[in-house]
Amino acid sequence: MAQRPGRIVVVGAGVIGLSCALRLLQAGHRVDVVARDLPLETTSSVAAAIWYPYLASPQDKVTAWGRTTYDEFARLAERGADGVLMRWGTELLSRPMPDPWWIDAVPSLERVEPRAPYADAWSFRTPIVDMSRYLSWLTQQVLDAGGTLTRLALAGLPEAPLVVNCSGLGSRRLATDLTSMPVRGQVVVVEQVGLEEWWLAEGEAGGVPTYVIPRVTDIVLGGTDDEGEWSRTPSPEVADAILSRATELVPRLAGAKVLRHKVGLRPARPEVRLERVGDVVHCYGHGGAGVTLSWGCADDVVRLAA
Ligand SMILES: Cc1cc2nc3c(=O)[nH]c(=O)nc-3n(C[C@H](O)[C@H](O)[C@H](O)COP(=O)(O)OP(=O)(O)OC[C@H]3O[C@@H](n4cnc5c(N)ncnc54)[C@H](O)[C@@H]3O)c2cc1C
Q: What is the pLDDT of residues 128-172, one digit of tens each?
A: 999 999 999 999 999 999 999 999 999 999 999 999 999 999 999
What mean pLDDT is predicted for residues 226-251?
96
On whether the CB atoms of residues 132 and 84 are closer than 8 A, the answer is no
Residue 178 above 80 pLDDT? yes
- Minimal-distance CA residue to ligand 1 atom 50: 47
Residue 205 above 80 pLDDT? no
Is the preceding peptide bond at 153 cis, omega within 30 degrees of 0?
no
On whether the CB atoms of residues 242 and 258 are closer than 8 A, the answer is no
Residue 2, pLDDT score:
44
Residue 141, pLDDT score:
98
Options 3.50.50.60, 3.90.1820.10, 3.40.50.740, 3.40.50.620; CATH for 7-305 is 3.50.50.60
**Which run of H or of E encompasses 75?**
helix 59-79
What mean pLDDT is predicted for residues 226-244?
97
Residue 3 above 50 pLDDT? no
Residue 204, pLDDT score:
75
How far apart are the CA of 169 and the centre of ligand 1, in A? 8
How far apart are the CA of 132 and the centre of ligand 1, in A? 13
81-95: per-residue pLDDT in tens? Answer: 999 999 999 999 999
Mutate which of 42, 171, 230 for ligand 1? The one with the most ligand atoms within 8 Å of its CB, which is 42
Residue 289 above 50 pLDDT? yes
Instruction: Give CA angle at 184 (154, 67), nearest 5°.
Output: 85
**Which run of H or of E encompasses 247?**
helix 236-249
- Minimal-distance CA residue to ligand 1 atom 28: 14
Q: How many residues in the chain?
A: 306
Residue 232 above 70 pLDDT? yes
Residue 264 Cβ inside 6 Å of ligand 1? The answer reads yes
Residue 37 Cβ inside 6 Å of ligand 1? The answer reads yes
Residue 206, pLDDT score:
64
How far apart are the CA of 74 and the centre of ligand 1, in A? 22
Residue 12 — left, alpha, or beta (φ > 0 → left; ψ -120 to 50 → alpha)?
Answer: left
Residue 208, pLDDT score:
85
Average pLDDT taken over every residue of the chain: 96
How far apart are the CA of 14 and the centre of ligand 1, in A? 5
Domain boundary assignment for the chain: 7-305
Residue 199 above 50 pLDDT? yes
Give the distance from CA 95 to its chain's centroid: 26
Residue 207, pLDDT score:
77
102-118: per-residue pLDDT in tens? Answer: 999 999 999 999 999 99
Residue 20 Cβ inside 6 Å of ligand 1? The answer reads no
17-67: per-residue pLDDT in tens? Answer: 999 999 999 999 999 999 999 999 999 999 999 999 999 999 999 999 999
How far apart are the CA of 144 and the centre of ligand 1, in A? 23
Ligand 1, atom nearest to 56 Cα: 19
- Minimal-distance CA residue to ligand 1 atom 33: 12
